[in-house]
Amino acid sequence: MAGYKPIRKVVSGNYAAAYAVKHARVQVVAAYPITPQTSIIEKIAEFIANGEVENLQYVPVESEHSAMAASIGASAAGARAFTATSAQGLALMHEMLHWASGARLPIVMVDVNRAMAPPWSVWDDQTDSLAQRDTGWMQFYAENNQEVYDGVLMAFKIAETVNLPAMVVESAFILSHTYDVVDMIPQELVDEFLPPREPLYDLTNFERPFSVGALGTPADYYEFRYKLQKAMEKAEKVIREVGGEFGERFGRDYSSMIDLYRTEDADFVFMGLGSLMGTVKQAVDLLREEGYRVGAAKVRWFRPFPKEEIRELAKNVEGIAVLDRNYSFGMEGILFTEAKGALYNSKARPLMKDYIVGLGGRDVTVNDIRKIAENMKAVVERGEPDVEVDWYHLKR
Amino acid sequence: MEIPESIKKKLTIPAEEHFYAGHTACQGCGAALGLRYVLKAYGRETIVTIPACCSTIIAGPWPYNTLDANLFHTAFETTGAVIGGIEAALKARGFKVKGEDGIMVVGWAGDGGTADIGLQALSGFIERGHDAVYIMYDNEAYMNTGIQRSGSTPYGAWTTNTPGGKKHFLEKRHKKKVIDIVIAHKIPYAATASVAYPEDFIRKLKKAQKIPGPSFIQLFAPCPTGWRSPTDKSIEIARLAVQTAYFPLFEYENGKYRINMPSTKREPKPIEEFLKYQGRFKYMNRGDIEVLQQWVLKEWETLKKLAEVFG
Ligand SMILES: Cc1ncc(C[n+]2csc(CCOP(=O)(O)OP(=O)(O)O)c2C)c(N)n1
Ligand code: SF4
């Protein structure tokens, strides 16, 4: 354990995000309310009202589209900028997400996973954030409130190193509104870890005027895209370094992009994103007691995608049960596609099956994971899946 | 030739240039001229935000910038939000914004990006009171995408999606009064201006610079390409727009209206004067012209009344 005394607070995932914003000394927050994200921006507003933050400009915009646009303006003008949203709000931002990454702006956003309407639902579902897969944003999925806090701090450092925006994703209500102990880091130590931002370009520098985001002709546009991909590749390295540094400084290691739990001797593993994996880890412990040799592979970073680490994992297991709290219509669970894609050109290709779980906030319990384990065990023994995509909870 | 002192005093347009030759506007483009005046008024320490519109092109492709000021290109509907974000960042970073010695944060958007898709962001920008200047250059259609109607297109105009034909289609709605919408926000300063009256425009820009909070200027900027008008008639057309009271110049400041031009004493010139050089109006029949004329006079009476009561 690192040699410092953490500040222990019992907070919701949303408050954990707000505290991280405060500790990161964010300079501009532009945001628009949407359940279940709202309490993040309310808490930040409270910090301002109580004089707990210095120099934080709060821009209560008139829409999420403008929240992202204002964050883009702020970040382009050199400030450390933050926003937060959910589902419909994130979808409304979509156009501007591309703008943020294209203009190479290290904005950090918390997305509280919420199901897309209709039907209206305020509950957990990962399709909103995963649908932003191709926007050039990095995506970190938090398992618990601690990871929300840590994730925001790391996201700023990583984003500002590679000049790409980053999304920290937490699940609706399961994290956003559930209170848990979070070890926060004293401000001086955060400051050492996360120094003030040094912008890639600075609109306040008038020595030699320049423009950002101008028309890119076919002669140049292509190279801009390539550079964006190069930044993502660099991000993989930076993520591991910053995650490792975070571990050394604060005792919680994030140096791998997938969090492996009891996978060393596992016959098959569960793979998934976010808070779901907390339940899975618990189930793994129970299943191990019952004689199942199972493990959990929590994908921390969905973009950049941990291709190499998944290939490594695949070498040692016979099966991967992907748990997707999301869906790409006309295809399958999104993580399933991605994980399979990562393995296609690799020698090790374990059996894979996709379990669609928890859409729109349907509870996913330890018992559900046990049932999935039973099914997956049979699949592995048989050597082929019964069905490739299993709508696990379906009322039949 | 040496300019006599007496004349020099009357020259209110700053001599220095901050808009380079080599821009890619069409000949006679009012927007290009307008941008040049903006930079003359505000100088180099200006951050300009331009959304998707003709000015995106005018400013030049990567890696060029025809502005001698920093330029951030943004998405079509976001001007109000982006300049708000820039202003907030500058303040958080401890810069002085607006005023005579502050950094000028300027949004430069077309009528489509202002009257239509960007109206919401404009409204938010004004309501939140950002220290920035939003300039809508009004060429009365979407020119960048090939002359389609916008909310600011006048009655009777031909555009590519309101064409004139055997069944006589044309634009059937009157010009949206964006300035009235802006004023309804009780903005500290709003004004109309025209490229035909650069002294007046620059005076207004300077005023907008001094007055704290958001300012809005709607600049009449002829577009020979879209208006099907001779490239050397842009200024004359813009002047006739004022003289016919089609586009009167006025200011709104702290609840007060002041008409700058045309004269409230004289009768406006007939609307035909404004229409005559523009191919976009050639499909109008007598009845159409009368409808437009009546609208212009009614709006003009309203404005005069406002200036009288709230002058
Ligand atoms: C969301 C979105 N929809 C449509 C467009 C296409 N588009 C680009 S410029 C433009 C018209 C701009 O018109 P205006 O604001 O009047 O400026 P002008 O081109 O006349 O100078 C349109 C429709 C876009 N860039 N973004
Ligand atoms: S189309 Fe019109 S507004 Fe656009 S550059 Fe040409 S003249 Fe200017």
| Residue with token string 């055997």 | B166
Q: Are A164 and A235 in contact (CB under 8 A)?
A: yes
Residue B166's pLDDT is: 86
3-state secondary structure of A376: helix
Kindly list the distances between the CA atom of residue B255 and the CA atoms of A94, B189, B304, in Å, as whole numbers in the listed order. Answer: 39, 9, 15
- Within 10 angstroms of residue A237's Cβ, the number of other Cβ atoms is 12
Summarize pLDDT for A125-148 with one digit per residue, the tens. 999 999 999 999 999 999 999 999
> In this structure, which residue's CA is closest to atom 26 in ligand 1?
B76
Position B10 confidence tier, pLDDT thresholds 50, 70, 90: confident
Which of the 8 DSSP states describes residue B122? H
| A196 in reach of chain B (CB within 8 A) | no
Kindly list the distances between the CA atom of residue B241 and the CA atoms of A257, B237, B248, in Å, as whole numbers in the listed order. Answer: 63, 6, 7
**Share above pLDDT 70 across residues of chain B, in percent, rounded to a whole number:** 100
In the predicted model, what is the mean pLDDT of residues B101-117?
Answer: 98
Atom of ligand 2 nearest to the CA of B224: 7
Q: Are B252 and B191 in contact (CB under 8 A)?
A: yes
Q: Do B85 and A203 touch (CB under 8 A)?
A: no
CA–CA separation, B142 vs B34, rounded Å? 17
DSSP A82-141: EEEE-HHHHHHHHHHHHHHHHTT---EEEEEE-PPSSSP--S--SHHHHTTGGGS-EEEE
In the predicted model, what is the mean pLDDT of residues B295-299?
Answer: 98
> In this structure, which residue's CA is closest to atom 6 in ligand 2?
B26
Mode of pairing for the β-strands spanning B249-253 and B189-194: antiparallel
| B94 in reach of chain A (CB within 8 A) | yes
pLDDT at residue A378 tops 90? yes
Summarize pLDDT for A27-72 with one digit per residue, the tens. 999 999 999 999 999 999 999 999 999 999 999 999 999 999 999 9
Question: CA angle, corner B55, sides to B54 and B60, nearest 5?
Answer: 110
Summarize pLDDT for A188-226 with one digit per residue, the tens. 999 999 999 999 999 999 999 999 999 999 999 999 999
* Euclidean distance between the first and the last CA atom of chain A, given in angstroms as a whole number: 50
pLDDT at residue B5 tops 90? no
**A171 phi, psi to nearest 5 deg:** -90, 145
In the predicted model, what is the mean pLDDT of residues A363-370?
Answer: 98
Three-state secondary structure readout of B210-257: HCCCCEEEEEECCCHHHHCCCHHHHHHHHHHHHHCCCCCEEEEECCEE
Q: Are A360 and A389 in contact (CB under 8 A)?
A: no
Position B3 confidence tier, pLDDT thresholds 50, 70, 90: confident
Q: Do B71 and A205 touch (CB under 8 A)?
A: no
Nearest to A76 among B57, B86, B128 (CB): B86
Atom of ligand 2 nearest to the CA of B28: 7
Summarize pLDDT for A88-103 with one digit per residue, the tens. 999 999 999 999 999 9
CA–CA separation, B156 vs A172, rounded Å? 53
| B187 in reach of chain A (CB within 8 A) | no
Q: Are B78 and B242 in contact (CB under 8 A)?
A: no
In the predicted model, what is the mean pLDDT of residues A13-20?
Answer: 98
In the predicted model, what is the mean pLDDT of residues B95-123?
Answer: 98
Nearest to A213 among B60, B72, B124 (CB): B72
Residue A352's pLDDT is: 98
pLDDT at residue B71 tops 80? yes
Residue A396's pLDDT is: 83
Angle between the N-to-C axes of helices A334-343 and A307-316, in degrees from 0 to 180, rounded to the nearest 10: 80
Report the chain A residue with the minimal C-alpha distance to residue B84: A70
Q: Do A79 and B93 touch (CB under 8 A)?
A: yes
| A83 in reach of chain B (CB within 8 A) | no
* Least distant ligand from the CA of B118: 1
Summarize pLDDT for A233-260 with one digit per residue, the tens. 999 999 999 999 999 999 999 999 999 9
Residues in A touching B88 (Cβ below 8 Å) = 28, 30, 57, 59, 70, 73-74, 79
Ligand 2 pocket test: pick from B23, B66, B137, B143 the residue with the most ligand atoms within 8 Å of its Cβ.
B143
Position B12 confidence tier, pLDDT thresholds 50, 70, 90: confident
> In this structure, which residue's CA is closest to atom 4 in ligand 2?
B54
- Within 10 angstroms of residue B211's Cβ, the number of other Cβ atoms is 18
pLDDT at residue B303 tops 70? yes
Helix ranges, chain A (H): 13-23, 38-49, 64-76, 87-102, 127-130, 145-162, 187-193, 221-250, 276-289, 307-316, 334-343, 366-382
Give strand pairing partners of B216. Answer: B134, B190
Nearest to A63 among B63, B84, B120 (CB): B120
Q: Which two tokens stand for residue B224?
A: 């020979």
Residue B4's pLDDT is: 85
Residue B11's pLDDT is: 83
Residue A365's pLDDT is: 98
* Least distant ligand from the CA of B58: 2
Higher pLDDT, B5 or B117: B117
CA–CA separation, A216 vs A135, rounded Å? 18
Residue A2's pLDDT is: 60
In the predicted model, what is the mean pLDDT of residues A98-109?
Answer: 98
Q: Which two tokens stand for residue A281?
A: 């880890």
CA–CA separation, B260 vs A393, rounded Å? 71
Nearest to B178 by CA among B123, B227, B242, B97: B123
Q: Do B83 and A30 touch (CB under 8 A)?
A: no
CA distance B225 to chain A (A): 21
Ligand 2 pocket test: pick from B19, B27, B29, B237 the residue with the most ligand atoms within 8 Å of its Cβ.
B29
Q: Are A42 and A207 in contact (CB under 8 A)?
A: no
- Within 10 angstroms of residue B254's Cβ, the number of other Cβ atoms is 9
Mean pLDDT for all residues in chain A: 98
